Amino acid sequence: MRVLILGSGSMAEQHARSFMAEEGVLLAAAVEPNAERRAVFGAMFEIPKLFASLDEALAWGEFDACANVTPDAVHHPTTMALLAAGKHVFCEKPLATSYPLAIEMAEAAEKRGVINMVNFTYRNSPALQRAHALVEAGAIGEVRHFDAAYLQSWLVGKHWGDWRTESRWLWRLSEKHGSKGVLGDVGVHIVDFASFAMASDIVGVESRLRTFAKAPGDKIGDYTLDVNDSVVMTAELANGALGTISATRYATGHANDLVLNIYGTEGALEVRTTAREWSLRICAGADIDTQTWQEVPLEPVATTYQRFVAAVKSGENGVPSFRRAAEIQRILDLCFAQDEARRLAAAAPAATA
């Protein structure tokens, strides 16, 4: 299986490392417009073919699948070109910048019959996969109530550096620089995380977003600090469960925690995950009457990279699919539209005549 790496940033390095570690996978080529970075990236992973553009790579054509690690707004045009050429695509999240674009990509991939998956990395958490399996097996009965949160605190502490002076953080606060705030950044993860764990679609949402004052005139240098810092939503699932989903960059005491509590008719689960650590606790059966929680032993799970490779080999699409990513984008777009409607409705009239 010959893989084309599209992009050369730090996430592209992660993709390259992950795919080259898989048996039967060859990093066949890479695309990077900048000559210097292209050369460095090629050398780093000993990639035989290097191209300055996707068009050139497609003209050459000798690859089966592409890891699309371009900027968010570039996912759509590049993926559509790859799909037209019949290539399997593993795309970084978010799949697209809007639901209509995302669903167009899903439909194009399905029509072409190629493997299409998205890199929702928290699917790699053994705690999440085990929770999903336990819910599906009925270990806690029917799900009734839940709360889910993605908790970061880099707007308060300096453990990840100083957002006031470092561009790697400042761009995440500015729409002009490509950010859709905490909702676009990590909200996408927690929405997928929660509904996948509970194996049920989100059928109703009411959200609130907020951009807090963080600097004089809401500006730091060229960066207008205009994107959302916190988001909260109520959610109703197809299985009837009611819950809350939230994400914030102000959660002091939490560097990068995904927290999910699931309450069913016959027990409850506590799912905890960071990028590298995870745990799962259950309270069920006789433990219910004493409020006793038990640790659930966890085993390693296949990564999204491994599952993409397996899907290409088997010819059967894996999860999370483009269609799933489009569904998550629907929820995000809905949150943004609700927020915009609320803000515009609350704005004072500008002039009477």
CB closer to its own copies, 14 vs 121: 121
d(CA 158, CA 91): 31
CB closer to its own copies, 7 vs 267: 267
CB closer to its own copies, 88 vs 324: 324
| Least distance (Å) between residue 196 CB and its own copies | 7
| Least distance (Å) between residue 307 CB and its own copies | 12
CB closer to its own copies, 18 vs 211: 211
| Least distance (Å) between residue 93 CB and its own copies | 15
Contact criterion met (CB below 8 Å) for 228 and 210 = yes
CB closer to its own copies, 78 vs 246: 246
Q: Quick one: DSSP state of residue 318?
A: -
d(CA 7, CA 254): 31
Of 189, 183, 149, 185, nearest in space to 168 by CA: 185
Beta carbons within 10 angstroms of residue 199's beta carbon: 15
| Least distance (Å) between residue 157 CB and its own copies | 4
| Least distance (Å) between residue 250 CB and its own copies | 4
CB closer to its own copies, 38 vs 323: 323
| Least distance (Å) between residue 160 CB and its own copies | 9
Exposure letters 31-56 (e unless 16+ CB within 10 A, then b): bbeeeeebeebbeebebebbbeebee
Beta carbons within 10 angstroms of residue 292's beta carbon: 13
Cα 105 vs. chain centroid, distance in angstroms? 16
Cα 226 vs. chain centroid, distance in angstroms? 21
CB closer to its own copies, 36 vs 350: 350
CB closer to its own copies, 49 vs 210: 210
Of 132, 77, 141, 148, nearest in space to 319 by CA: 132
| Least distance (Å) between residue 90 CB and its own copies | 16
Cα torsion at 30, 34, 39, 41 (round to 10°)?
-50
| Least distance (Å) between residue 189 CB and its own copies | 15
Task: For 109-126, give the DSSP string.
Answer: HHHHT--EEE--GGGG-H
CB closer to its own copies, 59 vs 203: 203
Contact criterion met (CB below 8 Å) for 288 and 189 = no
| Least distance (Å) between residue 69 CB and its own copies | 23
Residue 28's contacts (CB-CB under 8 Å, 6 or more residues apart) are: 2, 3, 4, 47, 48, 49, 62, 63
Residue 319's contacts (CB-CB under 8 Å, 6 or more residues apart) are: 117, 123, 307
